[in-house]
Structure formats: C-alpha cells, structure tokens
Structure 1
Amino acid sequence: MTRDGFGVRRLFATRRRRTMVIGALVAVVLLVVAGGVTVAVMPAPLARVLGIHDTQVDHACVPATPQTPLGVAAGSGLTTLSDADLARTLDMTAEGGMRWIRFDVPWSSVEATRGQYDWAATDRVVDAARARGLTILGIVDTTPTWARLPGALDKEFSLPNDTAAFGNFAGLAARRYADRITAWEVWNEPNIVNFAAPAPDVAVYGRMLSAASIAIRTNAAPGVTIVTAGLSPAVDGGGNIAPTRFLSTLYRVADSASWDAVGIHPYSYPYLPLDSSSKSFNAFAQLPALYATMRRNGDGAKKLWVTEYGAPTGGTSKQRVSEQFQADSLWSAIMSTRSRGHFGPFFVYSLRDAGTDTSDVEDNFGLLRNDFSPKKAYGAVRAAADCR
C-alpha cells in the first residue's frame, strides 16, 4: 500500500489532480464575513450560469440541510494509523463540523488471496468512526493481484478481469457493514489512467457498477445509497476521459437504476471555484454541464455528491495556494453547492497534511498541518458547519 493523507501518503498520490494550463489568477475582491472567514467575490457571468443573482459567494452564510452535510475524504490511510492518531483524526473530524467520513474498503487488502478475507483493519476504522457518530461513505475499490488485467498486473487500481468477482466483494462488504455503512461509492476516478489501468473503459466500469449495485442492494440495509465513482477533473487526452463525456457515455452503456447519486471531484485550484475566467480548466465551473447531462437522461431528481474537493498549501509555484486562499476556496465551494437543490454531501480533501514537504503538492491538502495544528481552512469549514 502506498501512503496517504493521514500521516501516510494516500493511494491517490501519484495521480495529478488534472491536466491544466496555468494562467494568471484573476483579481478578486475579498469580503470578510462572520467568524473571521474571508471569502471571494464571484464573477457575475458564472454566477448567472449557476443561478446565483448576486456576485457574493456567502449570501450571509447558506445553512446546511440534512441533504448537504459536510464530510472529510480520508482515502486509505486510516487503517495504518496508531490507535491514538486514529482517535485524534476522527475527533478533529467531528469537532470540525464534518459529520461524514469517506474512506476505502479495499478489495486488494481484504481479499489479497482469493476466497480468504481479512477485515480486521477496516473493522477498526469503521467501529471507531461510528463510535463518534460519524456517517460513513465506504469506497469499494482496488483490485487484488489475482483479479487484475494482464496489462496492469502491477497496478492496484487495475480494472478487474472479472466484474462478477468485484460485485461479490462489494456484496460481502455491504453485508458485513449493513448496520454501520449506509452509503457506498463504487470505485474512485475511473475516468483517468491512474485509477483505471490499463486505460479507462466506460463499458467495463458500467458492468462493475451494475454488479456492485445488485450485490450491495441485496446485502445492505434497506435504503442504502449507491454513488457513482467520483470523477477526476480530467480533460480528454492521454487515455483520460473528461467527466461530462464519461458520464454521458455511462448513461448509454449502463442502467441508471444502478446508482442513486453521481460522484464528482470538482477541484479548481489554483483558481477559486467560481472564477469564470478559468472555466476550461476549472472542474467546479463545469458542474452545470454535468448536472445538465443528468437531467437529459431523466436523472434530474438525483443529487451530485462532491466526494473530494480541496486545495494544496504546498507544491510548485503553479500549484500551491495560500492558507487564506484554501479557506476562501472551500467556503465558496460549500456555499455554492448549498445554494442549489441538486447537491448532496460535500467531502473536503483532506483533514491532515500527508507530510511536511512544502514542495510536494500531495503533502499539503490538509485542513490541519501534519502536526495536527489547524490552518485557516479548518476554521472556515467549522464556520460553514455552524451556518444557521
């Protein structure tokens, strides 16, 4: 296992976040709002596209609803933490107003040998999260060596050579955690090469989703929610498939009854989420097109779940943002999604910096520094959770 964002570098560390040309940032006007959180003025053109009739992001704070809770995207690293660090991580998640937590239930680890299951590491995290009243979004993902495709035997995120075997594992996980996990995300970012080796294939993912959906609904508690894999903010090229094209194709090759919500990772850094000048490279700005795809296919009543969103306070000069910008970006994105009726939970990536290397972008997405000290964004998320 590679190390991840909770003191170990996550499985997702090698990816990017998207291929993009970095231009000059557009100047924004800053406005100080309650709680000392600074937010940015939204450019009017995109505000109109998104149905917001004011150029300010905050609207004096948009309250959360039961359908729009905050969560944290934790990836795979929770299972490797000491008991003390796991407790501190989950405590600070809850104290930060994030009532959901998203993490992997990895097929590759649980069933490393076909037919032999080791649930101990996942059990520990699930039980610790539920003990704190956190709601879990489980991600069923990764492929054990014995189930990988010939061209991706060394890739943990190989597409499986047997979608029925993948579905069987999803069903076993749903049965084991039926009383503790009520929402499942099927895979992670299948529209990019790093998470769909040897290459993204919408038809294969559609079969995976169908097999997992049937098995989960058969074994989970009634009312379980199934979310499509959060799509990466990729652009077409190099084997990657842009989110809207991936979703459009998925509607053609799979039965939409297989899912209850659509997952998306609308990263926008180094731009603010509602910066209309950056629309070509800003996945957040493309959310209206994604939802329009859902509506065209009769899925307008379903929700978009933001299962990852964040910004790094380290990395190269073209990647990193200031701690203030990170706070602004999260506040803006959270308030924007709440102001529409077609969004579900919003998961911040991530809680804690993966490390202390300020030149490594993947070390610096946390709301907390690696030593658990809070950045401004932790306060911004806490303030967003407290909006009334």
Structure 2
Amino acid sequence: MKLKRKLLMGLPRRRRRVAVLLLALSALGIAQIYPRPVDDQVPLGEQRNVETAKPLVCVHTLLENEVDEAKIKRSLELTRELGAATIVQFFPWAYAEAEQGRYEWFIADRIARHAKRQGIRIIARLGLVPAWARPSDPAAPPTTLNFLPEESFADFARYAAAFAERYADAIDAVIIWNEPNLSFEWGFRPVDPAAYARLLRISYPRIKAANPAVQVLAGALAPTREQAGSGAGLNEFDYLSAMYQAGAGEFFDALAIHTYGYHDSPSAEPNPDRLNFRRAELLREIMLHHGDEHKPAAITEFGWNDHPRWTGAVRPSQRSAYTVQAFEYARKNWDWAENLCLWAFRFPADTLSYPDNFTLVSADFTLKPIYYAVQDYARGWARSEDTWLPPPRAG
C-alpha cells in the first residue's frame, strides 16, 4: 500500500486521479471474478419441509446466474410452496474453477444452503469448461464453453468428485454433462458417444469414491431426429445404443432423459419419427435391451410451451392440462422414472421470446396459471385427476 501511494504521488494530479480510478475498477473486477463468500448475507429463515402428495414432481431451476441472493431464496420458497421436493440445478465447472486448482464455491454454497433450508433436494447438472481446460493454441479456431477436450476429462472428473463430496448433504444425484448428442452442447464438434462413454468411465469411480451415496446420471440426451452424419447432432436412440456399445453401461446409476410434448398430448403414442412426451419410453426400451432394467431414469427436462407465435407451442390452457396429465401418466405407467422435472421454473431475466413461455414463474415473480395447476396437483388439492384451476383471486 505504501509503495502504491508513493507511485501515485509521483504522478501529475490529473493522471493521479485516473490511476486511482483504474485501481478501484481493477479491485472491483477482481472481487467479481473471485467473490468471497459471506455466510448468511440473506437470512435463511426457519427450517422448512416440502409438503407434497406427488414426490415425482420436480422443477428445473436456473439459479446459477442469479446475482441477488434474495431472489434465490424466494425462488426456492416458491418451489417448496409448489410442492416440488426436488430440483435440477446447473453448477458450472467454469464458475467454480476459473483458475486451475483453485475452487471458489460461493455460488454453489448459497444455492445449496437455501435449498437445504427449504427442505429441497438437488439433482446437480455439471458442465461448462473453464478457459484453462480448453485448447489454448492461438493459431487454432476459438472454442466454446462446451468444448471439453479428452485431455481435460480427468480435470472435469476431479471437479465432479470435489463437488459431490462438498455437497453430500444437499444433493441426491449428479448429471454428467448436458445433451452431449447435440453438436452445440459438445463444443460445436461432431458428437462422439464413445468419447462421452470415456468421460463417464473416468468420472464415475472418482465421484463414487468421494460420495458413495450419490447417484451418477448419464445422458441428459436431447430429443432430436438427427441422423448419423448430421452436423447438428445424433438422435438419442442411436446415441444411447452407441454409448452402451462403448461400455458406458458400467459407469452410470441412472439415465437422465429430456422429453418435450410439443403439439402432442402426453398420451400420444411414441414414435422415433415424432417428438413427443412418451418418446422417453423408447429410450427405456434400449436400457432394457442392454440389461439395465434395474436402473431407474429421471426425466430432467420436460414440458410444453404456450407462446402465441412459436410453432412448437400449444394454448395456455392446453399447457396446464397436458403438464398435469403428464405427471399423472408417469405416476401410473413409468415405475422406472424417479423424477419428472419441468423446464423451467423461472429465468433470472425475461428473454422476451418463446423461452419465457416454458416457465412457471416470470422474472418478476409473477405466478403463472400453470404454477397453480401444478401446485394443486402436487399438493393434492385438485378435485379430480383432471386439471382444476382455482377461481381468479381478487387484487
């Protein structure tokens, strides 16, 4: 500090002011990159428990980019009040280990402590590659945050194990990557089921050694009709089959599945050439074919959209009805599904486009009609298996 003061005093007055400003901004930038945890910045409140009649009900939260801790708390309070005892939540590796070997758990800590206080369990999705773990050749094309080179598989496994150990009292499961059957999610490269199987082979034993009780989920495969050779990805059926052929079956405890309804009702028959809710049953058939009938699955993304101008959407009333019917269909017919997690609970900021119409709660915490429909179902308040919406509330 004394040396800095001497250097500043040797500068002309105007330049001295500029230097002071730059130092202040530099300090602010460092603080933002490496935030220091402050316990209980927002009071946690009393310990709560989720009251639910339908433990299958789960939602996908997006709290990793929520800068206001009070909004994290409020999101999880509303999740508890909905009747969802489990959430899927993304924990980016790039946020936790921006500098190799130096973990910063501030973001994950505050999500975990508020979830625990609300009585909510977490399925943790892990991914997003820090810059130091991606290729650094300046002559090579730049890579995206989803680009995980094989030489960094062990680094990712180390992070996943550290995460699983640190949050053993908050998480039930970890998902290894997200939608690796899409080129975008695999770093804008050709998808590679064998490489993903090797990632599981390296990660699984380390995670289980760190936290033997945690469930390791593979897949989180996107529903798509892409065929081999497509630059966009590969359909989830061929991808899962290739994973098994590469030996992945020994290195996951359950399969994570993404399935969206689009225009179809939840009872519509599954078909490889059609995207709909029951498409998940075709993935289950592949699991059975490979002798994995003992393994469960988790639907970690599903839902319908009600944007008035998006081609994949339905009407708002249909969305509410289809969602409740999907929960009930799975409860009665999918004894292998441990959770059905709606995409998505709430975005930190409105996108001003069709993704907003997947949410149950708007960015300003306005509860949408579908929130009440799911709440009535999850809490056992519905008068029948059909969707029942309460009368309009005054005020």
Normalised by the shorter chain, which TM-score bucket?
0.7 to 0.9
Look up the match of 2:179: 189
1:159 correspondence with 2:148:
yes
- Residue by residue over 1:292-318, the C-alpha shift from the partner in whole angstroms, topping out at 9 and shown as x without a partner, is 100111101211210011222326341
Select which of 192, 200, 206 maps to 2:197. 206
How far apart, in 1, do the equivalents of 2:179 and 2:94 lie? Answer: 17
Gaps of 5+ in 1: 1-62
Look up the match of 1:125: 111
Letter in 2 for 1:257: E
Letter in 1 for 2:339: P
Is the alpha carbon distance of 1:152 and 1:244 closer, same or farther for their aligned partners in structure 2, counting shifts above 3 Å? Answer: farther
- Provide TM-score, normalisation by structure 2: 0.76
1:267 correspondence with 2:260:
yes
CA contact (8 A) 1:78 1:86 kept: no
- Provide TM-score, normalisation by structure 1: 0.77
Q: Which structure 2 residues correspond to residues 294-333 of structure 1 after superposition, within 5 A?
A: 294-314=287-307, 316-333=309-326
1:179 correspondence with 2:169:
yes
The alpha-carbon deviation at position 262 of structure 1 amounts to: 0.6
Q: Which piece of structure 1 moves more, 295-304 or 368-377?
A: 368-377
CA contact (8 A) 1:102 1:136 kept: yes
Letter in 2 for 1:285: R
Greater relative contact order, per chain length (Cα 8 Å cut-off, separation 6+): 1
The alpha-carbon deviation at position 321 of structure 1 amounts to: 2.7
Look up the match of 1:43: none
How far apart, in 2, do the equivalents of 1:331 and 1:106 lie? Answer: 31
Look up the match of 2:360: 367
Look up the match of 1:382: 375
Secondary structure of residue in 1 paired with 2:123: strand
The alpha-carbon deviation at position 238 of structure 1 amounts to: 2.7
Look up the match of 1:88: 74
Is the alpha carbon distance of 1:219 and 1:153 closer, same or farther for their aligned partners in structure 2, counting shifts above 3 Å? Answer: farther
The alpha-carbon deviation at position 160 of structure 1 amounts to: 3.2
Letter in 2 for 1:183: A
Secondary structure of residue in 2 paired with 1:280: coil
How far apart, in 2, do the equivalents of 1:223 and 1:93 lie? Answer: 25
Letter in 1 for 2:219: A
Q: Which piece of structure 1 moves more, 173-182 or 295-304?
A: 173-182
Is the alpha carbon distance of 1:244 and 1:378 closer, same or farther for their aligned partners in structure 2, counting shifts above 3 Å? Answer: same
1:224 correspondence with 2:214:
yes
Select which of 331, 336, 345 maps to 2:339. 345
Give the % identical residues. Answer: 27
Letter in 1 for 2:149: P
1:70 correspondence with 2:57:
yes
Gaps of 5+ in 2: 1-52, 382-395
How far apart, in 1, do the equivalents of 2:106 and 2:310 lie? Answer: 41
Is the alpha carbon distance of 1:69 and 1:193 closer, same or farther for their aligned partners in structure 2, counting shifts above 3 Å? Answer: same
The alpha-carbon deviation at position 384 of structure 1 amounts to: 2.5
Secondary structure of residue in 2 paired with 1:346: strand
How far apart, in 1, do the equivalents of 2:237 and 2:87 lie? Answer: 26
Look up the match of 1:292: 285
How far apart, in 1, do the equivalents of 2:178 and 2:141 lie? Answer: 17
The alpha-carbon deviation at position 73 of structure 1 amounts to: 0.9
The alpha-carbon deviation at position 285 of structure 1 amounts to: 3.0
1:235 correspondence with 2:225:
yes
Structure number with larger C-alpha Rg: 2
- Residue by residue over 1:264-316, the C-alpha shift from the partner in whole angstroms, topping out at 9 and shown as x without a partner, is 11012133233349762324232222111001111012112100112223263
Letter in 1 for 2:342: V
Is the alpha carbon distance of 1:242 and 1:71 closer, same or farther for their aligned partners in structure 2, counting shifts above 3 Å? Answer: same
Letter in 1 for 2:119: G
The alpha-carbon deviation at position 107 of structure 1 amounts to: 0.9
Look up the match of 1:29: none
The alpha-carbon deviation at position 372 of structure 1 amounts to: 1.7
Q: What CA RMSD, in Å, does the superposition of the two structures yield over aligned residues?
A: 2.2
Is the alpha carbon distance of 1:278 and 1:357 closer, same or farther for their aligned partners in structure 2, counting shifts above 3 Å? Answer: farther
The alpha-carbon deviation at position 324 of structure 1 amounts to: 1.1
- Residue by residue over 1:54-102, the C-alpha shift from the partner in whole angstroms, topping out at 9 and shown as x without a partner, is xxxxxxxxx74xxx52211124x44423122111100001100111111
Secondary structure of residue in 2 paired with 1:364: helix
Letter in 2 for 1:207: R
Secondary structure of residue in 1 paired with 2:259: coil
CA contact (8 A) 2:129 2:146 kept: yes
